[in-house]
Structure 1
């Protein structure tokens, strides 16, 4: 059953090169999404939402990075190597957000579909190679800022939005619905429509012989930009300036350029000419200071040190950045740099307390280095809102849902390097006796990023067997997550669909740092990192947990910000583990006295790990604290994070109190949420770590 629809992303890529052939790019499919119920105007509306997300300049930069890294890695459509299911993870996240969620629907926001993990198909199959009732959507993302789209209801038929919806007009009842549908059509009127000859390059079997086979003709009908451009003669002033810069570089001194920069109107020309000269020596630091400070005043606080402008050494980057005014820098772009050191990143995150965004796409900074920073330097991330690196742009499965290592699909979707955040207990042969070893155990189990986790329960979830909705981000900016929660809690229907929200990564945790109005729509939001469908911090070692129970029962509508008191936990750790060790030793002695055979090593090891896990959970329960919004603000400020603004806290209180919900006719008013009691929070924490299931927790 269903109204099935598929959406395909195509992109022009250079395939793996063959000897004797001139490299050229060809279209191929890189992602295929399946939706069980998407028909009528819904595919058109989803296309509009995806194009909005894609054309956000900050999102487009990340998509371009994924495209850049895909060149030369895969074969043409139908040829090996195939595109794996794990490719283009960030772009796929945008696609599933657009097709499965509508956060600004005029009839009420909704979430649909089956979530990220189960939405995608093999991109190497034909475009009508799957069960389909309502056609397909194809989107060309080769240029994220200038994409193209089309719909189709059958092989070889290419439709724009108006033509596709034309086949459903009879099902649209009511002037309001028709007006909304016409609005979607109009919004796509100026977008490029993919032509059949482009589709024939991807799926020739569906178009040949109506269109020539792509292997018989050039892959792209678009003339490269460099071929279209006309030769222009630069002004004499630019030629002279270029010669001055070349002289400065060859003599390793930039004093003549610094003198020139003092002249009115020259600094902008110097900025363009300087960065066009290729790698700059360390001696260029002073003139770069002048140029970057001039740019800061004219571009909203962005420091562009990407390789697209010039190649900078690590020493130049570190020297120049440290001399910029700390309160003026809002974003730093290091895209493409291959000379970045961890010391540079630490300096940047330390010096600029107002930094909103640090971009590290296509750099030499590894996944392991980013993870190590989050684990060992968590306080560096207290003031930043977006840390853009590929390792934080992958939707990972929850640790509790991880499949066995021999599961082929799991290995394809989640390569081992993507599981570096998943917490795991140490492999224990025996409980440590030495206090220092116990302390090391504590550090190993409780180390991790200072994450923010959201857990939704309630509605029909206890009887569904699906468990609570849980999602987590590895670091957080308090005001940003509160704005996201406000956006969510302002939509009552979202709460009744909270399990769906979990499947989509609780994207409301991600809000554009440029959005300041609380009621701003999310159609054009910037998504800086991708939440996981689980928790980074199973035992709440360092992070925060926001729990909301949305229920039709008045006494069960509660919420709370939960934090483990680290000092209290640390003080009782040694006593708790030592007591358990003594109990285990006594049990072993009783076994020897009774003459029973000792259990095999595997079972003993399992019992040891289970015993440690139970103690860690009990330890967290004993040290747990529950805060309301004001208490949360006080606590994060005490930790050293920026305190949320009064406007945001007041808006949260208004919504959580049930005073801002629109109440449709014949609809009961929502219950206000109260702050949960400690005992209630402890029960839900036991659900989070898997000690009890939600069905039983609802009856405790």
Structure 2
């Protein structure tokens, strides 16, 4: 029953025991109500999120983390369904939820319940499929590729060909899908409406809806049949032994993402080179270096080795050859102080964009990190992934020395222990007041709840869909801006009549996705948000919280009608009671101070949290007024929870 559609993320990575990169599925998701234009809209949302620079850097790191680690299908080791939790969440959240103005979509009920095994076959008979498949290639996140595949055929289709099976398009000569021998029609396409009013309606829908949607895919590469065969090889190829873990066949010379994606940042010719490499499966032809380039390489190496870099540091033409500088710096391990001036110039030229600094791949000491960061304007996001020497003491110093930091990426850092990082978050809350997100395996795990046991809970969102049912999510670290952006997005769902009614049925999923991203600058589309979803942990309100914990308590249910009187919101400042013998009683959510939006903002700022941008606060105030959402009283909160 339903309109089932499956979506897959693929990438070229090296299988276990092989030096040759091969396409394989790394994330798979099922949606029970996805047909017509909906797969195109969902795929467009996924592609936008994949290309977003801060999302792309995490995707690259997850690809590195699985490169060479798992076998292909029947060959072990087997890849878990959530081996790439960030990528899985990106796919799932964008597939279930859409928040574009005038086109709000709310579906799905459970991320975990809809995840599929990544080793399943594309045409697995055990999985119901009514409306085809979507495949997206994220090998190079800055240049992803896509295709659709209909249920009745296995050839990749572009966006226009897929959606054409549902709607009539004027002047379209795409033929029906016929059997292999042409003897019968497997899939008949819609024909031109006979009634003039129906034809006019179809034309308007095409011009105003379907054509602009198709145009979103004009500049996106289309996957060909060879990529699909490589990712999901037919059974007869496995039997013949032509495909497997033996590393045979055409491949990139450098192998998988661990070699080719080192700290690209999506900038310059290097990214384009990689995209072409994956697309053509051919070797890269490099130009012969000039005598000037050869001389510069030798001079840079000699200067760094001797420590006498002054003569080269200030050469103005050096900025024209940052590619050579980057190649030399990439090869340094350990990283000498003498090379810092060149890394500082490289950072200003290529590694620092907006307020984001990408130092991934460099084995820098903490003093070197601070030295580079403090020469730049304000830094909000810092990527220190692939740093082999970074440990928890270094992270502590980075946080203390860079108070403007809001996001820290710590993927593939072998010296950084997960339990030590979790303990740091719990023991030193003052270091994390300004942090919106730490991207590390300890915080992005969505399949093993045991890693959450030691997590502190500093802010909680509880959304009631009725008097007896609620959905809850918790944050080990967060800023007030994240909560305010999430509540604004949640209220945006309610403003749409269809999505508002769906909140009663899909409230838990809406809650997860609404609070899944970092605050957006005014005017930034929802599809270009920075994702942070996997650091959210579901918690019941009775769980223990930290002494400075806050709770956002909200009900936006608008269906059925008899729940309208229960709508409201409140920020609860949980209190820790000191008993007569001096012992501190555990924090519970029955002991709280009640705050409205402005009171919450003032109090958290006094606690050391960053202030909330006024345009974001004003937007939420407008949404609260528009939705007529009152502030709950203490009595209403205690009564609705039975005094728990």
Please state which band the TM-score falls in when normalised by the shorter chain: 0.7 to 0.9
Distance 1:176 1:521, change over 3 A: farther
Alignment of 1:164 with 2:168, yes or no, is no
**Corresponding residue for residue 184 of structure 2:** none
Provide the rounded CA distance (Å) in 1 between the counterparts of 2:30 and 2:354.
40
8 Å Cα contact 1:7-1:34 kept in structure 2 = yes
CA distance in 1, matches of 2:26, 2:581: 49
**Distance change (3 Å), C-alpha of 1:147 and 1:213:** farther
- Please tell me whether the aligned partners of residues 322 and 346 of structure 2 are also in contact (alpha carbons under 8 angstroms): no
The residue number in structure 2 matching 1:110 is: 105
Q: Quote the offset at 1:45 in angstroms.
A: 1.4
- Which residue number in structure 2 is paired with residue 585 of structure 1? none
Corresponding residue of 1:488:
490
Report the Cα offset of residue 534 of structure 1: 1.5
- Work out which of the residue numbers 479, 483, 506 in structure 2 matches 1:500: 506
Give the TM-score normalised by the residue count of structure 2: 0.79
TM-score (structure 1 length as normaliser): 0.73
Could you list the per-position Cα deviations for residues 394-449 of structure 1 after superposition, in whole angstroms to 9, with x for gaps in the alignment?
A: 33xxxxxxxxxxxxxxxxxx33xx522236xxxxxxxxxxxxxxxxxxxxxxxx53
1:95 to 82, 91, 95: 91
- Alignment-derived partner of residue 468 in structure 1: 470
- The residue that corresponds to 1:261 in the other structure is 313
Distance 1:344 1:673 in 2: 45
**Partner deviation per Cα, 1:239-285 (whole Å, 9 max, x = no partner):** 4443343333333x33xx23543455556758952625523655427
Structure 1 residues 505 and 76: CA distance shift in structure 2, 3 A: farther
Among 233, 237, 241, the residue aligned to 1:204:
233
Partner secondary structure for residue 454 of structure 1: strand
SS at the partner of 1:391?
A: coil
1:69-91 CA distance string (max 9 Å, x none): 11222212332322212311111
Q: Residues of 2 paired with 1:297 and 1:56: CA distance?
A: 16
Structure-2 separation of matches of 1:651 and 1:270? 43
| Whole-Å separation in 2 of the counterparts to 1:276 and 1:133 | 49
Question: How far, CA to CA, are the matches of 1:121 and 1:646 in structure 2?
Answer: 42
Alignment of 1:609-688 (within 5 A): 616=586, 620-621=589-590, 623-658=591-626, 670=627, 672-684=628-640
1:558 counterpart residue number: 568
Out of 276, 284, 302, the residue aligned to residue 247 of structure 1 is 302
Structure 1: stretches of 5+ with no match in the other structure: 396-413, 424-447, 578-615, 659-669, 692-700
Q: Which residue of structure 2 aligns with residue 133 of structure 1?
A: 130
1:174 deviation in Å? 5.0
Q: Distance in 1 between matches of 2:34 and 2:596?
A: 40
CA contact (8 A) 2:340 2:368 kept: no
Alignment of 1:51-66 (within 5 A): 51-66=47-62
Q: Distance in 1 between matches of 2:623 and 2:638?
A: 25
SS in 2 for 1:674: coil
Aligned to 1:587: none
Q: Which residue of 2 aligns with 1:456?
A: 463
Structure-2 separation of matches of 1:195 and 1:297 = 33
Indicate the residue corresponding to 2:332 in structure 1.
278
* Cα distance in 1, alignment partners of residues 289 and 584 from structure 2: 78
Alignment of 1:382-531 (within 5 A): 382-395=433-446, 414-415=447-448, 418-422=449-453, 449-458=456-465, 461-462=466-467, 467-492=469-494, 493=496, 494-498=499-503, 500-503=506-509, 506-512=512-518, 515-517=520-522, 520-531=524-535
Q: Find the counterpart in structure 1 of residue 2 from structure 2.
A: 2
Q: Does 1:231 align with 2:262?
A: no
Residue 34 (structure 2) pairs with residue 34 (structure 1) = no
How many aligned residue pairs are there?
A: 569
CA distance in 2, matches of 1:506, 1:270: 42
Output the CA distance in 2 between the equivalents of 1:486 and 1:182.
30
User: Is 1:359 the equivalent of 2:403?
Assistant: no
- Name the counterpart of 2:15: 15
5+ residue gaps, structure 2: 169-189, 191-197, 253-275
User: Residues 205 and 497 of structure 1: is their aligned pair in 2 closer, same or farther, counting only changes over 3 Å?
Assistant: same
Seen in structure 2, the aligned counterparts of structure 1 residues 475 and 496 have a Cα distance that, compared at 3 Å, is farther
Which residue is equivalent to 2:143? 146
Following superposition, the deviation at residue 53 of structure 1 comes to: 0.9
Partners of 2:305 and 2:235 in 1: CA distance: 59
Higher Cα Rg: structure 1 or 2? 1
Superposition RMSD in Å: 3.4
| Distance in 2 (alpha carbons) for counterparts of 1:297 and 1:37 | 42
Q: Kindly tell me: are residues 528 and 85 of structure 1, through their superposed partners in 2, closer, same or farther at Cα, counting changes over 3 Å? A: same
Distance 2:580 2:159 in 1: 63
Q: Does 1:311 align with 2:363?
A: yes
Instruction: For residue 104 of structure 1, report the CA deviation from its aligned partner.
Output: 0.8
Quote how far apart the aligned CAs of 1:572 are: 6.1
Q: CA separation of 1:280/1:348 partners in 2, compared to 1, >3 Å: closer, same or farther?
A: same
Q: CA deviation at 1:638?
A: 1.5
Deviation per residue, 1:50-77 (Å, 9 max, x gap): 1111111211111121111112222123
Contact 2:109 2:508 in 1 (8 A): no
Note the alpha carbon deviations across 1:370-391, whole angstroms, 9 max, x for none. 2112111122121133322222
1:28–1:202 contact (8 Å) kept in structure 2: yes
Q: Measure, in 2, the Cα distance between the counterparts of 1:156 and 1:206.
A: 14
